[in-house]
C-alpha cells in the first residue's frame, strides 16, 4: 500500500471517530496521532489502519481505550516548579493588585486532565488572597475533552505519590486524608467548575484574568494553534495573563501576546483596537416631573410582564436575577427572595440548561439565540420540551444592559417538529474568524520581509520538533511510571522470598540431625550443617549431585530402595538403622528416616532424609 493510500485511510479513520463519537482530531498533528493509534493497534497485532477501522466498527468498546491512548493525560501538581513560582510572585500578585478588592477573579485551566493544575491554581490563589476571600472572589473553570479524566478531577482525590510535589505545609492545609487517599478541601472545591470543552470547536470562556493551558497546544498543527490562540486572546481581559507549557514558544503570535517571561512561557494579552465592549451595568435616573405617570406606566409594565403566558426571567449584565414572572416562578420554584441573587447561585442556572455560557455568547454575538428542544424531566416522571430564547436587552446607544430569557413549552409540537429541529441544529454553525493580511508592501521592504519569513519558517520547524520531543517525553514518562510499579512489585516479592529462605535455613541449622533433601532423580537439593559435620562434605560440594554417587562413610547404595518406596508411597518401613563411619573415622550407628517432599499439587517431588547419630 502506498503512503498516499495509507494517509487517506487514516483520514477516513479520523472522520469515523468524529461521526461516531464527536471527537474531532482533524486539527491534531498527524505524526503524533499516527504514533498513538499505532501503539493501540499493537495490542491486537493489527498492522494497518484499514484493518483497525474495521475492528472499531465491529467492537465499539474499543473507543474508550483508544481515546485514553490518544489523549495523553500526563500532569502533576506544581509541574515545572520554577514557572509556578514566577507566576505566583509576578503575574498573580499583579492581577490581584490591578483588580478592585470586591471584583471577582476569573481563571480558566484549559486541558486540565485529572485536575492537578486546577487545584494547584486554587492553592496559590488561596495563599495569595486568603481562604475567606478565595471563597468570595475566585472562580476557576477547569475544562478538558476527556470525560474520564474530568470524572477523576471532580472527585479531587489523590494518592500520597500524586501529592509528592506539594509542599508539606500546603498538603496539610488544603488536603484531608480519607481512606488512604487525600481529598482537596470541600469548601474551596466549590470554587472550581469542571466541564467538557473542545478547544477547537467550542466557544471560549470569556472575561478572564488568567488562562492556563500547558502542554496542550503542542498536539495541534500550526493552523489550529493559531485559531486557538486567537480565541484565548478574545477570552482574556485587556490585562489578562496566559500561562503555557515549556514546549510552547508562540514565537509567531507577538501581535496578540507579549511575553512577561519567555523562559517560563508566561505572556500578557496585547489589547486589540476593536475589542468587545466591556459594558457596565447602567442605572436609570428619573426626572422629578411626571413622577406619578412614570410610576403608573412602570406598574402597567410590571403587571404585563408578570402576567405573561410564557415563563420569562431577566438577568442583568452583572449576572443578577432582576425579574421573574409568575409562570417562571411556578415552573422553576423561584420565590421573591430569589430576586436580586446571583444567577450562578440558583438551580435554574444549570437545569434544565446551562444558561451562563449562552449568556456569554449573547454578549459576544449581540443577537437573539434560541436553544431548541431542551429536555426537562418533571418530578412526576414526565418529560417536557422547551425552546429557550436568549434576547439581548440593548439601549439606544447599543449598550447591553442584560438578557431576557424565555422558556417556551413546545412539548405537544415536539414529535411533529423533531426532524425539522434536528436539521436546524445541524445547520447552526459558528462563524469562523477571518483574518486578512495586507500584501501590498513597498519595494524597499521586500528583501527584509523575505528574510523574516524564512526565519519564521525555521522557528516554526524548531518549535514543531521541540513539541514532538516533548510529546515523546510524555510517553516515556508514562512508560517509566509503569516500569517503576512493576519493579516495586518484584522487589517486594524478592524480599518475601529472601525472608522465607532465611526462615527455612534457620530451621535446618537448628536441627541436631543431618538433613538431606533429594529430588525424584536422587539429586541433592538441601544439605544442612549437621550433614556436613557428619560426613565432611560442604553443601556447595554436593549440590546437584546424585546422593548415590557420594563417597562418604555411609553406604549410600542401601538408600536407593527406601527412597524409591517413599517416592512411590509403598511399604511400611519409615526408618532404618545402619552402620557408618563419620568424618572423623569413628564407627557409629546412624538412624535414617525417610519422609516425602510434597508439592503444591500434592505430588511427591522428592524425599527428606533425617540422619541421626546413635553412638557406638
Ramachandran area for residue 615 (φ above 0: left; ψ -120 to 50: alpha; else beta):
left
Superfamily of domain 511-615: PAS domain (3.30.450.20)
pLDDT digits (tens, 9 = 90+) for 352-405: 899 999 999 888 888 899 999 899 888 888 888 999 999 998 865 567 888 999
Segment among 110-114, 209-213, 324-328, 436-440 with least mean pLDDT: 436-440
* 125: confidence class by pLDDT, cuts 50, 70, 90: very high
| CB atoms inside a 10 Å sphere around CB 353 | 17
Res 569 pLDDT > 80: no
With beta carbons less than 8 A apart as the criterion, state whether 247 and 466 touch.
yes
Contact 459, 262 (CB under 8 A): no
Quick one: which H or E segment has residue 313?
A: strand 311-316
Residue 367: the pLDDT is 87
pLDDT band with cut points at 50, 70 and 90 for residue 249: low
Q: pLDDT tens, 447-470? A: 888 778 888 878 888 888 888 888
Considering the chain, what is the average pLDDT of its residues? Answer: 82
pLDDT in tens, 134-178: 999 999 999 988 888 888 899 999 999 999 999 999 999 999 998
Q: Is 511-615 the same fold as 3-70?
A: no
Q: Is 47 helix (H, G, I), strand (E, B) or coil?
A: coil
Q: List, in sequence order, every beta strand (DSSP E) within 510-583.
A: 514-519, 524-527, 575-581
Checking if the pLDDT of 296 tops 80, the result is: no
Strands 105-110 and 208-213: parallel
* Rounded alpha-carbon distances, angstroms, from residue 567 to 547, 558, 610: 15, 15, 15
**Strand bridging mode 311-316 / 257-261:** unpaired
The whole-number pLDDT of residue 431 equals 47
Contacts of residue 385, defined as CB under 8 A and 6 or more positions apart, other chains included, come to 373, 374, 375, 376, 409, 410, 411, 414
pLDDT by residue (tens digit) across 252-282?
A: 666 889 888 888 889 999 886 543 333 332 2
* Percentage of residues in the chain having pLDDT higher than 70: 84
Confidence of residue 110 (pLDDT cuts 50, 70, 90): very high
Query: How many angstroms separate the CA atoms of 108 and 360, rounded?
Result: 15
Cα–Cα distance for residue pair 241/116, rounded to 1 Å: 20
Report helix, strand or coil for 596: strand
Looking at residue 288, its pLDDT comes to: 37
Whole-number pLDDT of residue 300: 72
pLDDT of residue 241: 95
In CATH, what class is 309-427? alpha beta
How many Cα atoms are found within 13 Å in the side-chain-facing hemisphere of 43? 11
Domain boundaries of the chain, sorted by first residue: 3-70, 81-269, 309-427, 455-506, 511-615
Q: Could you give the 3-state DSSP secondary structure of residue 615?
A: strand
Asked if the model's pLDDT at residue 298 lies above 70, the reply is no
CATH number listed for the domain at residues 3-70: 1.10.155
How many whole angstroms separate alpha carbon 395 and alpha carbon 30? 49
Would you call 173 exposed, middle or buried from its count of C-beta atoms within 10 A (0-12, 13-18, 19+)? middle
Give the distance from CA 499 to its chain's centroid.
40
DSSP code per residue over 209-268: EEEEE-S-GGGB-HHHHHHHHHHHHHHEEEEEEEEE-TT---TT-TTTEEEEETTTTEEE
Instruction: Give the confidence band of 181 by pLDDT, cuts at 50, 70, 90.
Output: very high
Distance CA 561, CA 569 (A): 12
- For range 514-520, the mean pLDDT: 91
Helix or strand (DSSP H, E) at 105:
strand 105-110
The helix, strand and coil proportions of the chain, stated in percent and rounded to the nearest 5, come to 45, 25, 30
CATH number of 81-269: 3.40.50.150
Amino acid at each position: 500500500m502506498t503512503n498516499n493510500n495509507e494517509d487517506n485511510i487514516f483520514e477516513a479513520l479520523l472522520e469515523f471517530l468524529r461521526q461516531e463519537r464527536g471527537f474531532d482530531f482533524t486539527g491534531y498533528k498527524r505524526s503524533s496521532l499516527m504514533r498513538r493509534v499505532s501503539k493501540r493497534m499493537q495490542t491486537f497485532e493489527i498492522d494497518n489502519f484499514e484493518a483497525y477501522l474495521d475492528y472499531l466498527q465491529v467492537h465499539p468498546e474499543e473507543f474508550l481505550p483508544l481515546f485514553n491512548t490518544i489523549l495523553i493525560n500526563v500532569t502533576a501538581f506544581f509541574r515545572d516548579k520554577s514557572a509556578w513560582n514566577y507566576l505566583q510572585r509576578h503575574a498573580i500578585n499583579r492581577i490581584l493588585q490591578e483588580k478592585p478588592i470586591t471584583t471577582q477573579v476569573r481563571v480558566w485551566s484549559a486541558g486540565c486532565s485529572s485536575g492537578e493544575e486546577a487545584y494547584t491554581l486554587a492553592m496559590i490563589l488561596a495563599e495569595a488572597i486568603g481562604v475567606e476571600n478565595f471563597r468570595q472572589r475566585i472562580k476557576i473553570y477547569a475544562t478538558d475533552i476527556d470525560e474520564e479524566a474530568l470524572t477523576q478531577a471532580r472527585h479531587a482525590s489523590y494518592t500520597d505519590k500524586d501529592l509528592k510535589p506539594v509542599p508539606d505545609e500546603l498538603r496539610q492545609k488544603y488536603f484531608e486524608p480519607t481512606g488512604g487517599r487525600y481529598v482537596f478541601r470541600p469548601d474551596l472545591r466549590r470554587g472550581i467548575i469542571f466541564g467538557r470543552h473542545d478547544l477547537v470547536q467550542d466557544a471560549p470562556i470569556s472575561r478572564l484574568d488568567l488562562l492556563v493551558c500547558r502542554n496542550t497546544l503542542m498536539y495541534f498543527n500550526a493552523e489550529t494553534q493559531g485559531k486557538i490562540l486567537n480565541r484565548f486572546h478574545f477570552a482574556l481581559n485587556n490585562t489578562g495573563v496566559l500561562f503555557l507549557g515549556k514546549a510552547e514558544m508562540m514565537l509567531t503570535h507577538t501581535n496578540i501576546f507579549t511575553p512577561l517571561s519567555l523562559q517560563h512561557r508566561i505572556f500578557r494579552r496585547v489589547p486589540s483596537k476593536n475589542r468587545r465592549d466591556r459594558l457596565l451595568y447602567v442605572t436609570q435616573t428619573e426626572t422629578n416631573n411626571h413622577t406619578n405617570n412614570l410610576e403608573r406606566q412602570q406598574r402597567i409594565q410590571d403587571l404585563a410582564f408578570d402576567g405573561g403566558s410564557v415563563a420569562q426571567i431577566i438577568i442583568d449584565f452583572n449576572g443578577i436575577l432582576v425579574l421573574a414572572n409568575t409562570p417562571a416562578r411556578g415552573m422553576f420554584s423561584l420565590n421573591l427572595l430569589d430576586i436580586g441573587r446571583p444567577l450562578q447561585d440558583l438551580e435554574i442556572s444549570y437545569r434544565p440548561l446551562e444558561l451562563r455560557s449562552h449568556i456569554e455568547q449573547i454578549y459576544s454575538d449581540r443577537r437573539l439565540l434560541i436553544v431548541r428542544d431542551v429536555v426537562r424531566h418533571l418530578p412526576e416522571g414526565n418529560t417536557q420540551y422547551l425552546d429557550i430564547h436568549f434576547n439581548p436587552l440593548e439601549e439606544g446607544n447599543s449598550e447591553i444592559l442584560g438578557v431576557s430569557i424565555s422558556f417556551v413549552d413546545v412539548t405537544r409540537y415536539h414529535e411533529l417538529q423533531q426532524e425539522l429541529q434536528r436539521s436546524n441544529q445541524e445547520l447552526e454553525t459558528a462563524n469562523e474568524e477571518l483574518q486578512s493580511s495586507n500584501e501590498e508592501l513597498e519595494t524597499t521592504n521586500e528583501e527584509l520581509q523575505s528574510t523574516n519569513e524564512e526565519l519564521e519558517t525555521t522557528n516554526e520547524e524548531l518549535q514543531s520538533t521541540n513539541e514532538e520531543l516533548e510529546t515523546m517525553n510524555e510517553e516515556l514518562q508514562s512508560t517509566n511510571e509503569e516500569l517503576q510499579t512493576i519493579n516495586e512489585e518484584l522487589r517486594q516479592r524478592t524480599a518475601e522470598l529472601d525472608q522465607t529462605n532465611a526462615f527455612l535455613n534457620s530451621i535446618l541449622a537448628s536441627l541436631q540431625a543431618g538433613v538431606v533433601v533429594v529430588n525424584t532423580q536422587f539429586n541433592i537439593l538441601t544439605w544442612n550443617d549437621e550433614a556436613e559435620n557428619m560426613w565432611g562434605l560442604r553443601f556447595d560440594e554436593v549440590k546437584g549431585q546424585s546422593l548415590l554417587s557420594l563417597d562418604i562413610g555411609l553406604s549410600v547404595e542401601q538408600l536407593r530402595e527406601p527412597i524409591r518406596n517413599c517416592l512411590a508411597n509403598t511399604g511400611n518401613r519409615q526408618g532404618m538403622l545402619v552402620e557408618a563411619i563419620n568424618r572423623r573415622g569413628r564407627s557409629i550407628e546412624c538412624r535414617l528416616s525417610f519422609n516425602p517432599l510434597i508439592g503444591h499439587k500434592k505430588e511427591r517431588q522428592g524425599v527428606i532424609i533425617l540422619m541421626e547419630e546413635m553412638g557406638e
